[in-house]
Structure 1
Amino acid sequence: MKLPKRDEYSVKDLMNDLKKVNPSPNVMRQVGTELVYFEWSCCRQSLGDDHTVTKHLGELLEFMQKEYENQLIQGELWRSKDTPRSAINDFVRDRPDEFMEHVLDRSVEYIQRLLKSVAELRKKEKKQYKKLEKAVRAEIKEDPENPELWNKLRLLLWMVGKHSEASKAFRNARKLGWSSEKSELVAI
């Protein structure tokens, strides 16, 4: 993954570079834990809990550690246009400039090392998910009316970047009776 040369990282820069990774919930959680939590903690100490930047960093941390995965599991990210990039864009849309332009305390080297590390993790995840996809497709051949299997397939396809196929699998799962309230899946 090629990252632009930077002298500093703003929140906006981080989110734009993160889009290049096409992050899974696991990758988002890792970036949230290893970077955003630190930035949020620093802002709480230096700016206070009520400051705009602190509040929005807290919301970003929540998004990265929980909401992103929940959107996927609950079936909110199901259309072919619902990609990691679009989920990030939806999160940052209408955020104040003060937050988006806030310069992060961590060094450029640290942030780029983290982004390259999660990009490698993402490649490994995709290989794993492709193997699981084959297994779930075999299960579907045995039990084609099982909405949970179709939903599993949807998640796996989404995770490997096959968003159009994931959308079709999700429509099939819903047609067969899948709903987030009845789903057996609670985490990825």
Structure 2
Amino acid sequence: PLYQPGVPIYEAYAQVLQELNGVGTLRQRVGNRYWGGAANPMLEQGDGPGMEVAPDAGATIDTATNVWGRIEGAHGRFEPKYSTSATQYDIDTVKLQAGLDGQLYESEAGSLIGGLTVHYGHAKADVGAVHGSGSITVDGYGFGGTLTWYGESGLYLDGQAQVSWYDSDLGSHTAHRTLADGNDAFGYALSLEA
């Protein structure tokens, strides 16, 4: 079949939005901040306590309110095995995220940490297929919330929710025209990690 030159760009558009819409893992978001004492302790060489195994460090919870930020960048090349128009695309993404979190509750069973986040993302994709080539540029921003339970037994449960608004420009190099300028989109993501 013969497709019009915009089909490959429209086919890749949803995947480009999804690249910006996902949430990171707990480890990516907070590192080892709340389980600071749970890492393997470092033993000094020399005259030690005479133990073959390092002592249990135990988990410690940082109870302060924390402000944090992270930057993530990626490049990907996608050649789907199944595609209506045999579309392939290269994508570059940059994501900025900042947050504020702190302890909401503590008991002998564990601690509950809550947080608020804001984020911005930018993606640029170059799309190609036998039917046409073009580009997609997306800027997105939004906010979210996090809730994490750190149990004294070592169990943790992390929940995240975020909403995002996107502004996209789609263009066809083959047709020498803009397909969409300032196209608005909305996305949300929910995550539960244990």
Per the TM superposition, whether the score is higher than 0.5 is no
TM-score by length of 2: 0.27
Output the TM-score relative to the length of structure 1: 0.28
Could you say which structure has the higher strand fraction?
2
Larger Rg: 2
